[in-house]
Amino acid sequence: MLTMTIRQEVSRLKMKYQTDDPYEICEYLDIQVMDRPMGKSPRSCKGFFLVSSRCKLIVINSDLPDSIQRIIIAHELGHAVLHSDSAINTFHEFAMFEDTNRMEYEANVFAAEFMLSDDTVLEALEMQMDFYQTAKCLYVPPELLDFKLRILQCQGVRIIAPYIAHGDFLKRDLEQPLS
């Protein structure tokens, strides 16, 4: 699915349901959200989406900080909206622009678009903070900000900022919140 179509779908959902809370949108879409402890190691499952007998379910790793869980729910909501015909999608790690899995890439685009509005990112960049301070200010991992900046660049927005060359999302200390 094209990035622009995903952007439009994120915008449509937020406008239709008048919220930018991924948990609320899941509720509106009749997607059950459960949290379960799944471990804190970098290899632990972060979350997954599944469909069974037309019932949609997102399970989030409750061992993760709330700020990370919110990003994972947006990613899994992306699967629910974009790939509901798929039986199970699990989120183990977030590899930047990994072309080997189209559905993961699309869910990552959905999460980046859902969590970071263009205006908010551009305003934060205008504050002239370094890349990591900007990510911290936006309450997102640097890898998600990197992903969003690359999306903006692909749309022709001129951005001068350092990038993380293939960072792995959530491979650092999972005990630390993003504040």
DSSP per residue, 51-64:
EETTEEEEEEETTS
Taking the model in full, what pTM does it have? 0.82
pLDDT by residue for the chain (179 residues), tens digit each? 577 889 999 999 999 999 999 999 999 999 999 999 999 988 889 999 988 888 899 999 999 999 899 999 999 999 999 987 765 544 444 444 343 488 888 999 999 999 999 999 999 988 888 888 899 999 998 889 988 998 898 888 888 766 665 444 544 444 455 55
How big is the CA angle at 13 (ends 140 and 93), to the nearest 5 degrees?
Answer: 35
Distance in angstroms (rounded) separating the CA atoms of residues 23 and 42? 24
CB 124 within 8 A of CB 116: no
Inter-helix orientation angle 118-126/142-154, to 10°: 110
CB 111 within 8 A of CB 71: yes
Inter-helix orientation angle 66-82/3-17, to 10°: 110
